[in-house]
Each structure stands twice: as structure tokens, then as C-alpha cells.
């Protein structure tokens, strides 16, 4: 995807990561499209992200957009996962948020799945890879009562 609507962002601190998280919320990520390149200290994935920046308010019949985005996390020294069943081929995850803690970045997915990236520092980037396509579905989340 080229032009002014294509996103291309870099993150170097926790505030930058919160921007990443907002743009990548509800991204759909096939487990097969994630990889840890230990020798390069890089964790990379390709996500099918909802274009929140173009969504506006929900209106009946409105068409929204999704686009493929490549995301790379650099300076990754280890990767840990929780709740991921590696025996399930073709597993697809839904990204809820990205959080930063002392020395780690957590990718939190629906169904209790999380991937923790141990990092020596925050250094990552993402960019849209192709043209967006239409979708009628706008992600929505139920608000839990406390």
C-alpha cells in the first residue's frame, strides 16, 4: 500500500507502543505468520488489522476496511508464550493490546493467549503492506460489569 493513507510507524518507548496498540487492536494474526529469529534478535509477524483510523462511528450498512501489516520487534532476547496450543495447525489469534513492562513487551490476545517478548530495549516498527479491502464487520467488545 502506498500513499498518504498507508501507516508506517516506529516505536522507541512505552508511549509509542501504546500508539501501536491502538492501531493494532483487533488485528487477526495467524500463528503461522509469527516467527522469532533468535540470531537476529527479531520477532516478526504479519497481521490482518482493522483500520481504526478510518472507521469513524458505527452506522448501519457502513463499509469498513482491513489491511495486512508487517510488525517487527527488534532487540528480542527471548520469547515466552501462555495459552497457545502449538499442536493446533492454522490457529488464528485476535490481538487485544500490547503492553510494556520492565524489560518485556506483552502481546495479549483473546482466549487468554499471551506472548511475552523479553527485550533489551524498545525498538520496533510496523507498516501496512498492501491495499486495504472492505469489510462489513467492525470489531466490538462487551463491557464487563464489575
Give the other-Cβ count within 10 Å of 72's Cβ: 16
Q: What's the chain's average pLDDT? A: 88
Per-residue confidence (pLDDT) for residue 60, from 0 to 100: 63
Range from 7-16, 56-65, 114-123 carrying the lowest mean pLDDT: 56-65
Residues in the chain: 146
Residues 72 and 36: their CA atoms lie apart, in Å, by 10
For residue 73, pLDDT over 60 is answered with yes
Average pLDDT value for residue range 55-61: 64
Per-residue confidence (pLDDT) for residue 64, from 0 to 100: 86
Per-residue confidence (pLDDT) for residue 52, from 0 to 100: 81
For residue 133, pLDDT over 60 is answered with yes
Tell me the percentage of the chain whose pLDDT exceeds 90: 66
CB-based contacts of 143: which residues, under 8 Å, 6+ apart? none
Amino acid at each position: 500500500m502506498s500513499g498518504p493513507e498507508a501507516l508506517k510507524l516506529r516505536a522507541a518507548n512505552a508511549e509509542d507502543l501504546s500508539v501501536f496498540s491502538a492501531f493494532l487492536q483487533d488485528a487477526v494474526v495467524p500463528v503461522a505468520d509469527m516467527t522469532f529469529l533468535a540470531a537476529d534478535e527479531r520477532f516478526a509477524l504479519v497481521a490482518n488489522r482493522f483500520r481504526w483510523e478510518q472507521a469513524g462511528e458505527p452506522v448501519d450498512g457502513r463499509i469498513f476496511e482491513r489491511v495486512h501489516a508487517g510488525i517487527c520487534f527488534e532487540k528480542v532476547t527471548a520469547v515466552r508464550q501462555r495459552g497457545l496450543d502449538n499442536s493446533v495447525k492454522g490457529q488464528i489469534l485476535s490481538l487485544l493490546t500490547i503492553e510494556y513492562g520492565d524489560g518485556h513487551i506483552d502481546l495479549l490476545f483473546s482466549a487468554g493467549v499471551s506472548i511475552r517478548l523479553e527485550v533489551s530495549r524498545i525498538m520496533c516498527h510496523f507498516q501496512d503492506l498492501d491495499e486495504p479491502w472492505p469489510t462489513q464487520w467492525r470489531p466490538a467488545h462487551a463491557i464487563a460489569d464489575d
